[in-house]
Structure 1
């Protein structure tokens, strides 16, 4: 009799746990790795992994950008220099906010930029009562090695972008060089942008990493994870 009661209790608890799991999955599909990615949906636990996986699905990646209203011109694969092969790239001028330049970047990077812009940058700036109007970029594609090493940078494959500031209408831009690490709302906002990027990109480097990054955030879609 006691064994039967225990078994019934276990079954009830298991059923309740399954109900909670299914209810969570229904309400928060972005948290599950097997649900389709939607660039307009809120960021979930699985969003970063889904963005990285887009490198294996270029057609799906471009379709997601189109569905999110991003104009991305697909480019044929090409060599940007010795060892600097660029595959699955698109050209974009807007990733939810206008960029300073027309940039060549891998499609997964453009997708991650779109999610970061819409779900991290714009809301964080809005919390200060301001409106983000653009991203001050320092470029993406650059056939070069990581300083002090023999390894090619992710920039060499158009898989990285550097962001120096967030433009805010006629107000002074939120500048990484000037405002990151400062006390007050500007520093807090940039800290939130950095933390939000770490949920989406393979590598995020900023002023805390080294002097070479004192004036920008380096964002890339490398397969490993680093947030500094």
Structure 2
């Protein structure tokens, strides 16, 4: 019995270590249950941190149009604090709602400094639109294991964005779903912008990570650095 217990512990060690190393972001496949407040969000006193105030200044300097959003507690651990809604970053982006300001700053820098130049240089056409699958969503980490039970997704903190499609001036729509294993040009472009994202975001998840990300790039500023 003692030998069997030791063997079980050894076999379980990689799983335990993976839970420690990769906790904090959306890295599995089934959402943990989170229950937001049934009565709706509660407004919080708005006291922007020094980091948030600097972020506002950075967006203004870069001529990004945005509006600040009130701090709110949605219950179940879901919070929107120091968030903005991007209105105009120079390239239209669909489905953007609440984003913590540092996430908005990183996303803007990635689209303008990473995606747009890569589209022109590698695909020969100007980037005219980005289609996201959203930002804030009050839910748990996408994962059904005991280690993720009850833990809030970075989406539940307005600290993540999922990106699905890049539209070019010549009419092409380069999607993660179809282009990840598409033409050589599309494959190279999408992997280049993933590499660019890994320099700006803490966590970047693509179809190479798991089947839950077959149709989008997940980008967030939470947890530990992870790019795949």
Query: Which residue does 1:224 correspond to in 2?
Result: 224
Query: Which residue does 2:41 correspond to in 1?
Result: none
Cα distance in 2 for partners of 1:62, 1:223 equals 23
Cα distance in 2 for partners of 1:85, 1:213 equals 24
Structure 1 stretches lacking a partner, 5+ long: 1-54
Query: Which residue does 1:5 correspond to in 2?
Result: none
The structure 2 residue matched to 1:135, chosen from 130, 139, 150, is 130
Higher alpha-carbon deviation: 205-214 or 92-101: 92-101
User: For the structure 1 residues 102 and 197, does the alpha-carbon distance in structure 2 shift closer, same or farther, using more than 3 Å as the test?
Assistant: closer
Higher alpha-carbon deviation: 114-123 or 169-178: 169-178
The structure 1 residue matched to 2:91, chosen from 62, 87, 97, is 97
Q: Is the 8 A contact 1:96 1:117 kept in 2?
A: no
**2:149 aligned with 1:155:** no
Displacement of 1:129 in angstroms is 1.4
Query: Which residue does 1:64 correspond to in 2?
Result: 58
Larger Rg: 1 or 2? Answer: 1
Cα distance in 2 for partners of 1:94, 1:218 equals 21
**1:106-125 maps to which residues of 2 (within 5 A)?**
106-125=100-119
Quick one: higher RCO (CA 8 Å, sep 6+), 1 or 2? 2
Q: Is the 8 A contact 1:206 1:216 kept in 2?
A: yes
**TM, length-normalised to structure 2:** 0.73
* Aligned structure 1 segments of 4 or more residues deviating by more than 6 angstroms: none
Q: Is the 8 A contact 2:89 2:108 kept in 1?
A: yes
Structure 2 stretches lacking a partner, 5+ long: 1-48
Q: How many residues align?
A: 174
The structure 2 residue matched to 1:76, chosen from 70, 74, 79, is 70
Query: Which residue does 1:176 correspond to in 2?
Result: 176
User: For the structure 1 residues 111 and 169, does the alpha-carbon distance in structure 2 shift closer, same or farther, using more than 3 Å as the test?
Assistant: same
What is the alpha-carbon root mean square deviation over aligned residues? 1.5
**2:134 aligned with 1:146:** no
